[in-house]
Amino acid sequence: MQFTDNEGLFHSAKWALIANWYGRLIGIVNTLVLLKLLTPADFGVAALSTFFVSMFVAFSHVGVAHFVISSDDMTEQELDSIWTLGLVTKSITALCLYFSAEWIAQYVNNPAMSGVIQVVAIIPFLSGLRNVALDQAEKHYKFKLIIATTMVARTAGAIISIILAIYLQSYWALIIGVIASATVETIAGYVFFPRVPRLSCKYWRQQWGFSKWLYIGSIVGYLRSRIDVMLLGNISDARGVGLYSISTEFSWLPFNELIVPINRGFFSVASRNKNDSSEFYNRLIQQLTLNMLIVIPCAFGMMAISAPFTEVILGDEWLDATALIYTLSPLMIVMSVYGVLSTVLTIKKKMKLIISSDILFFSGIVTFFLSYQEAGIHFLAQGRLWIGLLFFSWLVLIFIFVVKMKASDMVLLFIPPLAASLVMYIFILWLIGLFNSSVIQLVIGIPIGIIIYTTLYLLSSYQCRAFYPYHWKCCDFVLNKMRKRHAYEGGT
């Protein structure tokens, strides 16, 4: 079945959302059960191990998916070559991680981390075995089986984690669950897409020419986004790292479960239109508008309900996370803008600029955390926010002066969602202040906030459609899809 670009983007977002919501449902159940069985220190050990695994994986990222998606139809030999390149780099990474275990344990002042790192070192290797046919399927908007592999893997990982947590009562439940999930996802990829790759290095030179900047960008970008966890591993105890990690996970929940899936197909669609400047611009501003109409209210909403959310969902042992969730939530907006910009600069082959920006931001975080390492995690989180807001301003300047977005368009894409979100935020704070029960505050605050924001956003989008039509186009597109779906179901 052939899709237009709009349909392909919607189709990819739809299936990615289904997978992420299913995965989040499994993940929330898994996390909530584990929060009752394990301690913040256990989550701290798991968070640190995950950080170092992800960092070493970033060191081996050669952009296999980006290469396959952005290239014209590739031959079998070209697919084998790019798969082999990924496998080799990730295998080397796995070995480096394994032999770095003692050093990492000394850095985080936790001898137990040595054994953990040696065990999780297998994860980069498993990621290198990933079936390249999955990227081919994504290129052609064939998402159903891709999503099935994710669903199966997350379910298996969650079940194994919970069972082991009941019996072991230790962080090993989290570690083994992650490894099990990675293993199942790799195997499922070959079950659903039965293509057997062969080792080949025939096209490495030209493929590395494309991948080298993605490789550098992956390393710098990951350090920029997660260097705070690495620094905390050295200046805070495992409990502090656990609090910070869980707070980050929940404060950025809407971004990971809504914006990331929505952006899933943007790279494919934008790549198709890269030679049509007018259409490319429309796609870009439409994607930014869609991101902002979702992420801005989510950020303000998380801030408004941070206290009852922490008390009800996380529990009494995690109350210190309230201030962290409140502080870190606005960074979702920065990450959403960065994600779109990174895609655009990758397509335009201007990765050097985004790498330089990452280094600038990364240096700011390191300087601040090391300068105020005795101040505590709450103060460090506030510094992380202010540095993020400065980075946001820098990203806006890149959009205007490098990508050549109109400054008026850049401003107008923020105004309706920001104005509606501020009203929603103030009203929620007033409303939940009328009740003493955190459960009631949460149950009432969330739906009322959604109703207020949706109403105000629709009204403002309709009113400003003459001079900035993109807000209303996003609303109209979704409404039309809902009408078609309703008519289809009614007809059947």
pLDDT tens-digit map of 154-213: 788 778 877 887 777 777 877 888 888 888 888 888 887 777 888 877 766 665 665 666
Shared domain check, 245 and 154: no
CA distance 230 to 235: 9
Instruction: Give the pLDDT mean for 319-327.
Output: 93
The answer, yes or no, to whether residue 23 has pLDDT greater than 70, is no
Shared domain check, 216 and 244: no
Shared domain check, 288 and 420: yes
Shared domain check, 183 and 80: yes
| Among 166, 317, 309, 169, residue whose Cα is nearest residue 243 | 317
Shared domain check, 295 and 221: no
- Position 230 scores a pLDDT of 76
User: Position 38: which residue type?
Assistant: L
The answer, yes or no, to whether residue 487 has pLDDT greater than 90, is no
pLDDT tens profile 245-303: 888 888 988 887 778 777 766 776 777 777 888 888 988 998 999 899 999 999 999 99
Looking at 173, 207, 227, the residue that finishes a domain is: 227
Helix, strand, coil content of the chain in percent (nearest 5): 80, 0, 20
Instruction: Give the pLDDT mean for 429-448.
Output: 94
Shared domain check, 248 and 223: no
The answer, yes or no, to whether residue 83 has pLDDT greater than 60, is yes
More confident residue, 144 or 321: 321
Instruction: Give the pLDDT mean for 358-382.
Output: 90
| Average pLDDT, rounded, for the chain | 80
Lowest-confidence pick of 4-18, 91-105, 390-404, 446-460? 4-18
Structure tokens at 429: 């704070």
Shared domain check, 256 and 223: no
The answer, yes or no, to whether residue 337 has pLDDT greater than 60, is yes
Place of tokens 């003493």: 436
Shared domain check, 81 and 155: yes
CA distance 148 to 158: 15
Shared domain check, 423 and 475: yes
- Position 2 scores a pLDDT of 46
Give the CA count within 13 Å in the CB-facing half-sphere of 426.
5
- Position 3 scores a pLDDT of 46
Structure tokens at 247: 């707070």
Structure tokens at 183: 């293993």
Question: pLDDT band at 486, cuts 50/70/90?
Answer: very low
Query: What is the residue range of 323's domain?
Result: 236-491
Shared domain check, 272 and 164: no
Instruction: Give the pLDDT mean for 415-420.
Output: 94
Shared domain check, 331 and 198: no
The top-scoring range by mean pLDDT among 76-90, 127-141, 430-444 is 430-444
Looking at 210, 227, 244, the residue that finishes a domain is: 227
pLDDT tens profile 388-405: 999 999 999 999 999 999
Structure tokens at 208: 């590395």
pLDDT tens profile 213-233: 666 666 777 677 777 877 887
DSSP assignment of 375-434 equals: S-HHHHHHHHHHHHHHHHHHHHHHHHHTS---HHHHHHTTHHHHHHHHHHHHHHHHHHTT
Shared domain check, 353 and 459: yes
Domain count of the chain?
Answer: 2
Looking at 167, 196, 227, the residue that finishes a domain is: 227
